[in-house]
Amino acid sequence: MISLPAAFLLLALTSMQLPASILLDVDGNEHVLPDPGAKATIVYFVTQDCPISNRFMPEIRRICGEYSSRDTRCLMAYVDATATADEIREHRQTYENTVPAVHDLNHALVGLADASVTPEAALFDREGNLAYRGRINNFYADLGTPRRQATEHDLRDALEDVLAGRAVSQPRTQAVGCFISKFGTAQRQESP
Amino acid sequence: MKTPHAPIALACVFALLSFSTALAVDSTRSDAVTFNEHVAKIMHERCSSCHRPGQAAPFSLLTYEDAAKRAQLIGAVTGTRYMPPWHAETGYGKFKGERRMTDREIATLAAWVEAGAPEGPGEAPAPPTFPSGWILGEPDLVLSMEEPFTVPADGPDVYRNFPARVPTTEDKWIRALQFQPQARTVIHHSLFNADTSGTARKLDARDDTPGYSGMGASIPGKVSLSGWAVGGRARVFPEGAPLRLPAASDFLFESHFHPSGKEETERSSIALYFTDEPASRTRLSFQLPPRFGTGARIDIAPGDPSYTIGESFTLPAAIELYGLTPHAHYIGKEFKSWAELPDGSEVPLIWIKDWDFAWQDMYVYEEPVRLPAGATIRSSIRYDNSAENPRNPSNPPKRVRWGRGSEDEMGSIIYMALPADENDVKAIRQAYSVISKRHARQAKEYFRARRAEARAQP
């Protein structure tokens, strides 16, 4: 009686682990996930027209810049399947975003991290375990309710834990933002 | 409840029940709810005026694809009434331009989301068209910010004030106006004033950046010329009551911006429409409590979730109340105002349950509210200075008193009215000045006590 839920849990845990895979970014460069040369990999889930996601662009740039010297890789996942390559290119230019970006057309990364909104961060350790998933910080208390400044920096805290080899104290949080929509993903899958 | 009334009450309850059941049955037939047949109409009527290219809203809501890929978000934000943004309670004053969905519309959207956001057969109704340029035609005068202001990409919200020279050599009467911002994604509201003292221009000269910061510094004799908030359109003033634009003054844009993640450039313009007819009716403007609450002795302990101020004004003569503007800063939580009539009945004027500083609306009644002599207008303003209030600018909460800074508080409701009879203007003003003077005395004592306290501190 105990073995069934236990097996289910094990499966669920296993599915949280990132299988080694190669991703092609929008500039045509390959990225190995999990990156064997990095202690930590952050995947940011974003949409080009979500104002909350956009307001986080400077903080995303800052985190990636500050941690790049500490064996941390960053990747942006654009999750709107209906977005065109031009829209993504323009968005990256507008927000001076040089972080490598993939268009997660089939929501493979969304599924791996079980992301539900943008912006949301998934933090994988060197083995590809999902060490943290959730908000970048608590700047938004709710939709339409930004604080003067963030008072809890969940992603940075989780990064510090992972880089120090500790268990992340708060491994899951609820992000505030725009819901990720499956719209457009099915058609794209049917006609590769 | 007295027994004879019970059957009537029961019948009413039954009628209500069967009505809501009818609604429920309708909305649960989610298989029947489609974009083309039901949702497009709601989107076009309630969302598209802002959610279209070139407007303040972040994305368009015109087509099936626009709506379908945001179906869950649409369901969530309409369900909580975060969108469309409208902060006054239904049934508590009826205002022009109410951006509200009916319960039925919200239920229809929820059913559509539940059904997987189907497009449905046939074609969607064509999206509405919107007039371009100035809605009211060619303006008599257009004023613009003298220099463009760069809104930073990042950081807290920005409050900045920009003077623009008024070139007219004589006073003008404004019968209507329309505000036109440039950086529509970052500007949230702008309050308009005229400054004849030169103070604003001096403040502007303090640094090289255009304008000066703050939530409306004290400008002696500042003349309020209404304002604009996101979603606002052209504003036409009541017949016979145009606004006076003083000659050779500075027009002030007092604007609120929220950074969007990238730098934006704002250069606001305003189109003014004049009339040759000077005001024939006297605009009466009064605040409860008066003077933005300087005399309300505001002193909110850190952590206090419910601190209330208020004031009342008994009218010596009849007025037509045509609008009001609530004002508080970040920890303002609830505004309520009503009038008690001599016959004992109550007239609801406004109720905002969850004040959001970001939406500085001026609420204009659909039909002016006529209040007779002897009516008492009451205001009640509640603050939440707890750590649980995410809008609290201080973490941990601090003691909050009256001030102009964003961490200080103010509190008043500004009422705008016309006298029912011009001969009563003096009597109304005299009655109000009694309250206003009392608050002036209280303010004097309040600030004296604060200075003494500051001196006593080591």
* pLDDT tens readout for residues B155-178: 888 889 999 999 999 999 999 999
At residue B31 the predicted structure's pLDDT band, cuts being 50, 70 and 90, is low
Q: Which CATH class is domain B141-275?
A: mainly beta
Check whether B349 has a pLDDT greater than 70.
yes
Q: Are residues A111 and B100 in contact, defined by beta-carbon separation less than 8 angstroms?
A: no
Q: Are residues B310 and B439 in contact, defined by beta-carbon separation less than 8 angstroms?
A: no
Q: Which residue does chain A place closest to B72, by CA atoms?
A: A179
Test A145 with B390 for CB contact under 8 angstroms.
yes
> In Å, how far is B311's CA from the nearest CA of chain A?
29
Angstrom distance (rounded) from CA B154 to CA A95: 11
- Neighbouring CB atoms inside 10 A of B360's CB total 20
Test B69 with A181 for CB contact under 8 angstroms.
yes
The pair of three-digit structure tokens given for residue B180, joined into one six-digit string: 């036109």
B393 touches chain A (CB under 8 A): yes
Check whether B341 has a pLDDT greater than 80.
yes
> In Å, how far is A137's CA from the nearest CA of chain B?
14
Q: Look at residue A119 and tell me if it is in a domain.
A: yes
For chain B, give every domain's residue range. 3-114, 141-275, 284-456
**Structure confidence at residue A20 (pLDDT):** 60
Which carries the bigger pLDDT value, residue B457 or residue B180? Answer: B180
Check whether B92 has a pLDDT greater than 70.
yes
User: Which among B50, B69, B257 is the top mutation candidate for probing chain A, defined by the most A β-carbons within 10 Å of its own β-carbon?
Assistant: B69
Asked if residue B84 has a cis previous peptide bond (ω within 30° of 0), the answer is yes
Amino acid at B37: E
**Structure confidence at residue B12 (pLDDT):** 39
Check whether B91 has a pLDDT greater than 60.
yes
Residues 39-78 on A with a CB inside 8 Å of B are 49-51, 54-59
> In Å, how far is A165's CA from the nearest CA of chain B?
31
Q: Look at residue A4 and tell me if it is in a domain.
A: no
> In Å, how far is B83's CA from the nearest CA of chain A?
10
- CB-nearest to A95 from B72, B73, B261 is B261
Q: Are residues B255 and B160 in contact, defined by beta-carbon separation less than 8 angstroms?
A: yes
Which residues in chain A touch residue B82, judged by CB atoms under 8 angstroms apart? 143-144
**Structure confidence at residue B399 (pLDDT):** 97
Q: Are residues A74 and A44 in contact, defined by beta-carbon separation less than 8 angstroms?
A: yes
Of B217, B221, B293, nearest to B446 by C-alpha is B293
Of B323, B370, B375, B347, nearest to B91 by C-alpha is B347
- CB-nearest to B72 from A56, A141, A181 is A181
Strand partners, B346: B340
Q: Which residue does chain A place closest to B152, by CA atoms?
A: A58
| Longest Cα–Cα distance in chain A | 56
Mean pLDDT of B255-263: 89
**Structure confidence at residue B229 (pLDDT):** 76
- Tell me the residue range of the domain where A77 lies: 21-190
Q: Look at residue A3 and tell me if it is in a domain.
A: no
**Structure confidence at residue B24 (pLDDT):** 39
Angstrom distance (rounded) from CA A45 to CA A25: 14
Amino acid at B61: L
* Phi, psi of A136, deg, nearest 5: -75, -45
Mind giving me the DSSP string for B344-374? S-EEEEEEESS--TT--PPEEEEEEEEE-TT
Q: What angle do CA B126, B128, B129 make, to 5 degrees?
A: 120
At residue B413 the predicted structure's pLDDT band, cuts being 50, 70 and 90, is very high
Q: Which residue does chain A place closest to B76, by CA atoms?
A: A179
> In Å, how far is A190's CA from the nearest CA of chain B?
18
Provide the 3-class DSSP secondary structure of residue B5. Answer: helix
Q: Are residues B202 and B280 in contact, defined by beta-carbon separation less than 8 angstroms?
A: no
Q: Look at residue A72 and tell me if it is in a domain.
A: yes
Give the whole-number percent of chain B exceeding pLDDT 90. 70
A35 touches chain B (CB under 8 A): no
> In Å, how far is A81's CA from the nearest CA of chain B?
9
**Structure confidence at residue B4 (pLDDT):** 38
**Structure confidence at residue B455 (pLDDT):** 93
Instruction: Tell me the pLDDT tens digit for each residue of B292-327.
Output: 899 999 999 999 999 999 999 999 999 999 999 898
B141-275 against B284-456: fold identical = yes
Q: Look at residue A2 and tell me if it is in a domain.
A: no
Angstrom distance (rounded) from CA A186 to CA B331: 46
Which residues in chain B touch residue A149, judged by CB atoms under 8 angstroms apart? 156
Q: At what angle do helices B71-79 and B103-114 cross, to 10 degrees?
A: 150
Which residues in chain B touch residue A95, judged by CB atoms under 8 angstroms apart? 261-262
Test A95 with B262 for CB contact under 8 angstroms.
yes
CATH of B284-456, picked from 3.40.50.1100, 3.40.1180.10, 2.60.120.230, 3.30.420.40, is 2.60.120.230
Instruction: Tell me the pLDDT tens digit for each residue of A9-63.
Output: 333 334 445 556 778 888 888 888 778 789 999 999 999 999 999 999 999 999 9
- Give me the number of domains chain A comprises: 1
Test A49 with B358 for CB contact under 8 angstroms.
no
Q: Look at residue A173 and tell me if it is in a domain.
A: yes
Test B82 with A143 for CB contact under 8 angstroms.
yes
Q: Are residues B92 and B351 in contact, defined by beta-carbon separation less than 8 angstroms?
A: yes
Check whether B365 has a pLDDT greater than 90.
yes
DSSP 8-state code for residue B456: H
Interface A–B counts its CB contacts (< 8 A) at: 74
Point out the least confidently predicted range of A104-113, A116-125, B333-342: A104-113
Q: Are residues B271 and B149 in contact, defined by beta-carbon separation less than 8 angstroms?
A: no
Check whether B407 has a pLDDT greater than 70.
yes
CATH number, domain at A139? 3.40.30.10
Strands B332-340 and B376-383, by their bridges, are antiparallel
**Structure confidence at residue A127 (pLDDT):** 87
ipTM of the complex: 0.81
Of A85, A109, A99, nearest to A22 by C-alpha is A109
DSSP 8-state code for residue B450: H
Point out the least confidently predicted range of A32-36, B138-142, B334-338: A32-36
Instruction: Tell me the pLDDT tens digit for each residue of B192-233.
Output: 999 999 999 999 999 999 999 876 667 888 888 988 877 677
Residues 137-176 on A with a CB inside 8 Å of B are 141-149, 151
Q: Which residue has the tokens 């001076």?
A: A96
Q: Which residue does chain A place closest to B392, by CA atoms?
A: A147
pTM of the model: 0.79
Test A57 with B391 for CB contact under 8 angstroms.
no
Residues 101-160 on B with a CB inside 8 Å of A are 117, 153-154, 156-157
Provide the 3-class DSSP secondary structure of residue B84. Answer: coil
**Structure confidence at residue A186 (pLDDT):** 65
Angstrom distance (rounded) from CA A93 to CA B236: 42
Check whether A90 has a pLDDT greater than 90.
yes
Please give, one letter per residue, the 3-state secondary structure of chain A: CCHHHHHHHHHHHHHCCCCCEEEECCCCCEEEECCCCCCEEEEEEECCCCHHHHHCHHHHHHHHHHHHHHCEEEEEEECCCCCCHHHHHHHHHHCCCCCCEEECCCCHHHHHHCCCEECEEEEEECCCCEEEEECCCCCEEECCEECCCCCCCHHHHHHHHHHCCCCCCCCECCCCCEECCCCCHHHHHHCC
Q: What is the mean pLDDT of chain A?
A: 86
Test B259 with A56 for CB contact under 8 angstroms.
no
Residues 314-343 on B with a CB inside 8 Å of A are 330
Point out the least confidently predicted range of A9-23, A59-73, B339-353: A9-23
Angstrom distance (rounded) from CA B392 to CA B107: 33
> In Å, how far is B378's CA from the nearest CA of chain A?
29
**Structure confidence at residue B217 (pLDDT):** 61
